[in-house]
Amino acid sequence: MKRRLNRTFTASLIVMALLFGQQDEISKSRQNAITKAVELVSPTVVGINVIEVREYRDPFANFFGNDPFFRQFFGNRNYRQEVKGLGSGFIISPDGYVLTNDHVAGNAKEITVTLTNGKKYQADIIGTDDVSDVCLIKITPEKGETFPFVKLGNSDNVIIGEWTIAFGNPFGLFDNIDKPIVTVGVVSAKGMNLNVDGNRSYRGLIQTDAVINSGNSGGPLLNADGEVIGINTLIYTGGVSQAYIGYGFAIPINRVKPIVDELQRKGKVERNFWTGMEIRPVDAQIARYFSLKQAQGVIVSDIKKNSPADRAGVQVADIIVEINGERIVDESRLISVMQDSRAGDLWKMKIYRDKKIVAVEMKLEKQI
């Protein structure tokens, strides 16, 4: 009887060991590339709270318009007000450089950065660029302190359909738990060009269906290797609301890298160049005259002597249809390309001339 009990007990131990082993295998199987990337990168993501000073016009001033009689009593009636805002960012160096969007922190009077360990730091703006919507800020480490930082990847190698991980501070939820909110999706498209918003130029964006909402701006978009491939910047709302309804957009990190370098060195991005050519959009009348199938591109209407365009061989009546691989469908697309260019850049252009496509290279020169 005792021997039988021993055998039963032993069998029970074996079954329990097998069950525990199986459970351990199940637990291990829950770990994948995404969970490992989240664990690796989370400490580098920060919540950003800002205070801006915005100027508003008194509604009574608008009511009275420009009537000089009332102006002597009410004046301009403009007033300033402090406004709070929030967003996300991520640490890119052990000494505390943080990347975010210009529209998050570029005009801030005061910036507070919260780390995942709960510590808060006041940040300084090193440089900001409203055209690219990139802002570089810095927090100062305590003596002997270093910060965890993320690895910047190669956005040129992004594959449509690969996993993406978005980190951030949507609706200020980071502040509740001192941890970034994580969403997962795939790369839906790349090379997306959106209409210029004010002075901003949104070109070559990565589109993802990872959920991005208000407050995610400035946070990192990662691949499954835990590398940053973009900065979460925009959401598509379809004009319905300010909430996510399907697609978000990130600035490719390869576009951001040279901007960060310039902001660190100069505190700003210099775009002081000239081409020496004047252009106008191709309308239906011009398209008919040149036997074009569509009214697309921009036509050169004038060229300054000894200008970059003149030396490159550009001619009046040339129609520019492509610059550095990007189709120039209208004037706004050319302006967008110009906003993203610097003195010294080389424009490889495709030009429609004499009913054929001609390749022309033009080097942008600093305007004196």
The one catalytic residue among 102, 129, 130, 133? 133
- Concerning whether 103 is annotated as a catalytic residue, the answer is yes
HSE-CB at 104 with a 13 A cutoff on CA atoms is: 38
Q: What's 9's DSSP letter?
A: H
Q: What residue has token string 């929030």?
A: 86
In 3D space, the residue among 255, 235, 256 whose CA is nearest the CA of residue 246 turns out to be 235
- Concerning whether 133 is annotated as a catalytic residue, the answer is yes
The one catalytic residue among 217, 318, 340, 341? 217
The one catalytic residue among 102, 103, 155, 209? 103
Chain centre distance of CA 161: 20
Please name the residues in contact with 170: beta carbons below 8 A apart, sequence gap of 6 or more: 181, 212, 213, 214, 215, 216
Q: How many other β-carbons are positioned within 10 Å of the β-carbon of residue 254?
A: 17
Rounded Cα gap, residues 180 and 88, in angstroms = 9
In 3D space, the residue among 50, 51, 85, 87 whose CA is nearest the CA of residue 180 turns out to be 87
In 3D space, the residue among 279, 367, 364, 275 whose CA is nearest the CA of residue 328 turns out to be 279
Q: Which residues are catalytic?
A: 103, 133, 217
